[in-house]
Amino acid sequence: MSEEDWRALFPENACLATIAELSVWTSVGDCLIAARWIEERSSPGDAPSDRLIIPYPDDQEFEVVFTQCLHWLIQSFRAPPSKVRLAALLDRHIAPQTCAALLEARFMPNVDQGPAGVIGLLFPPLAHHAHERFFVVKDSPHVIELVQTPLRCLVALIGQAWPTATRMRQLREQSLRESGTAPTIVHQPYVDGPLFSLIEALAFHAQGLAIGPDAVLTAPAIERGYRSVQVVGRPPIEPRLLAVAQQLTTSMWQSLE
What pLDDT does 42 receive?
A: 93
What confidence score (pLDDT) does residue 177 get? Answer: 87
Q: What pLDDT score was predicted for residue 83? A: 97
In SS3 terms, the chain reads as CCHHHHHHHCCHHHHHHHHHHHHHHCCHHHHHHHHHHHCCCCCCCCCCCCEEEEEECCCHHHHHHHHHHHHHHHHHCCCCHHHHHHHHHHCCCCCHHHHHHHHHCCCCCEEEEECCCCHHHHCHHHHHHCCCEEEEEECCHHHHHHHHHHHHHHHHHHHHHHHHHHHHHHHHHHHHHHHCCCCCCECCCCCCCHHHHHHHHHHHHHCCCECCHHHCCCCCEEEEECCEEEEECCCCCCHHHHHHHHHHHHHHHHCCC
Write down the pLDDT at residue 157. 96
Give the residues of the chain that fall short of pLDDT 50: none
What was the pLDDT predicted at 168?
87
Q: What is the pLDDT of residue 220?
A: 66
**Which pLDDT does position 190 carry in this prediction?**
67
**pLDDT reported for residue 15:** 96
Q: Please, what is the average pLDDT of the chain? A: 89
- Residue 216 is predicted with a pLDDT of 60
pLDDT in tens, 200-252: 999 999 998 888 666 665 666 666 665 667 776 666 777 777 787 788 778 77
pLDDT of amino acid 172 = 85
Q: pTM higher than 0.85, yes or no?
A: no
CA distances from 55 to 66, 124, 152, 156 (A): 11, 13, 10, 11
pLDDT at 31: 98
